[in-house]
């Protein structure tokens, strides 16, 4: 068993959820910005892409270069969300919808954390001989 397989899909779920948190936060921050278009991430598609992408480690020659995981995150399935309530200023952010999306994403994130916590506790118990 390696650390790459130890946490299974939950590690990728945390990464995808974190990216989605960033998008939702940006949407909420721009709720009053004229012309701003709400962005979102298809969680299932992004998670499938993260699971199928090979785990590659790259050597960085400069601290400012992207790591392989950062490059993969930025290439996610980000899309512009359709407006649920048309506005005169062209802004497509619905604050109520964003709050619901934030809570759903928080539940996914917490679930993945709980699974990783359980695996970590099991490994520590095994190492202690309990």
- Residue 1 forms part of a structural domain: no
Is the confidence at residue 75, as pLDDT, over 50? no
3-state SS record for 6-62: HCCHHHHHHHHHHHHHHHHHHHHHCCCCCCCCCEEECHHHHHHHHHHCCCCCCCCCC
Distances (CA, A) of 11 to 63, 66, 94, 117: 23, 19, 30, 11
pLDDT in tens, 84-107: 887 899 999 999 999 999 999 999
pLDDT at position 66 is 62
- Residue 123 forms part of a structural domain: yes
- Residue 60 forms part of a structural domain: yes
Domain hosting 33: range is: 8-128
- Residue 62 forms part of a structural domain: yes
Q: How many domains are contained in the chain?
A: 1
How many C-beta atoms surround the C-beta of residue 53 within 10 A?
Answer: 13
């Amino acid at each position: 068993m390696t650390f790459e397989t130890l946490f299974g899909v939950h590690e990728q779920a945390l990464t995808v959820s974190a990216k989605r948190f960033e998008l939702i936060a940006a949407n909420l921050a721009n709720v009053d910005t004229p012309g701003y278009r709400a962005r979102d991430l298809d969680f299932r598609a992004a998670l499938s892409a993260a699971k199928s992408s090979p785990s590659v480690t790259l050597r960085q020659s400069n601290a400012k270069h992207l790591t392989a995981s950062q490059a993969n995150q930025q290439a996610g399935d980000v899309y512009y969300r359709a407006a649920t309530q048309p506005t005169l200023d062209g802004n497509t952010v619905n604050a109520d919808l964003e709050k619901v999306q934030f809570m759903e994403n928080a539940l996914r994130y917490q679930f993945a954390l709980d699974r990783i916590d359980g695996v970590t506790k099991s490994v520590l118990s095994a190492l202690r001989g309990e």
